[in-house]
Structure 1
Amino acid sequence: MTVNPGHTFARIAIVTVSDRASGGQYEDLSGPAVEQWLRRAVAQPCEFVRRIVPDGVESVRNALLQLCDKDDIDLVLTTGGTGPAPRDLTVEATHQVLTKELPGFGELMRRVSLEQVPTAILSRQTAGVRGRSLIINLPGKPASIGICLAAVFPAVPYCLELIGARKMAEALPDSGA
């Protein structure tokens, strides 16, 4: 897949996975937390695309396929659906669309999260590549999002470069991200 010449900035999709948020039963706090963190961490302009989908393999898989294969997205960050509850199926959906898994992302997110809360061991985050898109599963709790992103984000620009996505420059470490 080639990069669309009409898009000059990196395109980042944030997918909130939640039955209640997608149904309007409560406000999505996770998606905005991801975007706010990224706006501080990315050194150049980028375009954000936001989606809220219900829990479940099919809904998440379909969103990921649309974003990666049709919407020309470089980085897809999901939030939610990574725990052990019966409806937490984001990881299963992600596995169905990945062409290459990058387990180090999930390993590092769990390690840094365990320094904060002992229940982080229940998390099942993963990451991987589909075409020229990098997909990363983040936790659903806004407080945990920054911890996980701070840990893995230094590898993101280089990974995007390796898979042929648009370049993304990380902000300087003192940027407050």
Structure 2
Amino acid sequence: MSQSFPLQRRHPDDLIVGLVSVSDRASSGVYQDQGIPALTEWLGQVLTHAPQIVSRLIPDERDGIAATLRELVDEARCDLVLTTGGTGPARRDVTPEATLDVASREMPGFAEQMRQVSLKFVPTAILSRQVAVIRESADHAALIINLPGQPKAIRETLEGLRDASGAVQVAGVFAAVPYCLDLIGGPYIETHPEIVKSFRPKSARRATDGNQQ
């Protein structure tokens, strides 16, 4: 079903998320995409208020990926765009290049931390080329983050690593997403701290925020 853009926000802090799965084989029907369902389920678990979601399943084509990212930010007015797939060293892995094509500014800390989390699980994390960027226009900005392609790796990089007692050993990247959205003029979002304890300075918190530090 087609959607008219921009989407209508249900309230001022209504989060609009774009989900992009980049895969030649999944987009051609060879196998079923797992990235978008995994991300949709995870966002529903971690956020205290359900977001509006716009999803796209597309092949590994640099121009097509860039066009999709522009559509989601500029037309659908997404505040956050999460991509999965296409971040390795293979010749068809061009998601990072396409993401940089649409960027106003790069946010290297997200990619650095994702690799730190993944290195706790697999040595091949150093092969990942994920990037994160801000795309800005005169009246809107969005955070775009490249994520791995596998649901298990997606969850690990977003949530981080905990020990047997549940204490966070290595923070996942989503802990910084709410405050990043604040800083670029996006909606105020809150997370369930038992899944992801998001961080904001005291001066930026609302009294109702359950993620008190």
Q: TM-score, normalised by structure 2?
A: 0.78
Distance, in Å, in 1 between the alignment partners of 2:187 and 2:145 is 17
The Cα of 1:174 is off from its aligned counterpart by 5.0
**Is 2:141 the counterpart of 1:139?**
no
**Is 2:175 the counterpart of 1:154?**
yes
The Cα of 1:173 is off from its aligned counterpart by 2.3
Letter in 2 for 1:155: A
Distance, in Å, in 1 between the alignment partners of 2:8 and 2:190 is 20
What SS does structure 2 have at the residue aligned with 1:173?
coil
| Distance of aligned partners of 1:47 and 1:112 in 2 relative to their CA distance in 1, 3 Å threshold | same
What SS does structure 1 have at the residue aligned with 2:66?
helix
What SS does structure 1 have at the residue aligned with 2:39?
helix
Aligned to 1:108: 113
Aligned-CA RMSD value: 1.6
Q: Which of 8, 27, 31 pairs up with 1:6?
A: 8
Structure with the largest fraction of helix? 1
Aligned to 1:33: 38
Distance, in Å, in 2 between the alignment partners of 1:161 and 1:80 is 27
List alignment gaps of at least 5 residues for structure 1: none
The higher-RCO structure (CA 8 Å, 6+ apart) is: 1
| Distance of aligned partners of 1:173 and 1:89 in 2 relative to their CA distance in 1, 3 Å threshold | same
Q: Which runs of 4+ in 1 moved over 3 A?
A: none
Aligned to 2:205: none
Distance, in Å, in 2 between the alignment partners of 1:19 and 1:104 is 29
Q: Which of 39, 50, 54 pairs up with 2:59?
A: 54
Bigger mean CA offset, 162-171 vs 20-29: 162-171
Aligned to 1:128: 133
The Cα of 1:56 is off from its aligned counterpart by 1.7
What SS does structure 1 have at the residue aligned with 2:19?
strand
- Structure possessing the higher radius of gyration over alpha carbons: 2
Aligned to 2:169: none
For residues 93-152 of structure 1, give each alpha carbon's deviation from its aligned partner in whole angstroms, at most 9, with x where no partner exists: 000101010000000000110100111110011101002110000011111000111100
